[in-house]
Amino acid sequence: MRDFLGYGTQLPTVRWPQGRPLAVSFVVNFEEGAEFSVADGDSHNEAVYEVIDRQSGVDPCIDSHFEYGTRVGWGRLAGLFAAHQAPFTLSACGRAVERLPWLAQDAVQRGHEVSGHGWRWQTAAGLSEDEERQVIQRTMQAIEAATGRRPVGWHTRSNSTPNTRRLLVENGFMYDSDAYNDDTPYFVDVQGHSHLVLPYAFDTNDMQFQHTQRFATGREFADYVCDAMDWLVREGENVPRMLSIGLHLRMVARPGRIGAVERILQHAQLRGVWVATREQIARHWLAHAT
């Protein structure tokens, strides 16, 4: 059943640690190696990127665009967050982790969370219940094998299914981010279990460089995200708000865009917000929300 009301006028009284006015969650998506590629034996190539001349056979062009994310993007982005001592959630596809376990291991060593983002970089739409269960479990197993710890959070690329949350609860997940309908965490009932949702966002997300060209430059992206942060800090004086900022290794880590992330991190420090992993936000909410 759809919920158009949400909290309505009865917003929770939860406060963030140290009285911070806003929880900011950077989500770094690790999808490289999980995209579809004829060179990897798939029937088709991924088409969502700057390349518009889609090929039916092996496509070294788009393959190399994805490879940039792990060859160059990871080190550049991880180094920037380290310089600012800011944690993030690495939303990782299972197959990407299986192929490049060192990246997930490096993320954990740097103090970041690794969460589940599906096995392949694909929607769950059209999957049977058993197929989706296998996707979730296979992703969990790959992350645990690489990092020594099972993921507690999940985000489905694009569409989830009516079974997704029940399967996540079945597999012991603490939260999911398969919603875009709020700026405050909330609980949903999943067959008698109170399950936590940390809403995600597509507007404060570097995917807009590819999908819509909404942002032509890194500065435009930084301005937009900082404006969102400022407004939510303002509301955060009275209600608990969180801001999700979605990043991709092959997108924002390009030299012409990475400066946007630096400006956002500097602005977050200036505004005194709580930069946290989604697991940290989830655990705080579970401990303090009633």
Which CATH number is 22-288 given?
Answer: 3.20.20.370
Rounded Cα gap, residues 233 and 271, in angstroms: 8
> Longest Cα pair distance anywhere in the chain, in angstroms?
55
Residue 158 or residue 27, greater confidence: 27
- Residue 189, H or E segment: strand 186-190
Q: Are 164 and 186 in contact (CB under 8 A)?
A: no
Quickly tell me which residue has 């979730």 as its tokens: 136
CA dist 34 and 142 (Å) reads 12
Q: Which helix (H) or strand (E) holds 275?
A: strand 274-275
pLDDT (tens digit per residue) in 239-288: 999 999 999 999 999 999 999 999 999 999 999 999 999 999 999 999 99
Q: How far is 143 from 188, CA to CA, in rounded Å?
A: 26
CB 62 within 8 A of CB 123: no
**Which structure tokens are listed for 201?**
């966002």
pLDDT tens, residue by residue, 71-94: 999 999 999 999 999 999 999 999
**Element (H or E) spanning 221, and its range?**
helix 218-235
pLDDT by residue (tens digit) across 202-248?
Answer: 999 998 888 667 888 999 999 999 999 999 999 999 999 999 999 99
Give per-residue pLDDT as tens, 28-48.
999 999 999 999 999 999 877
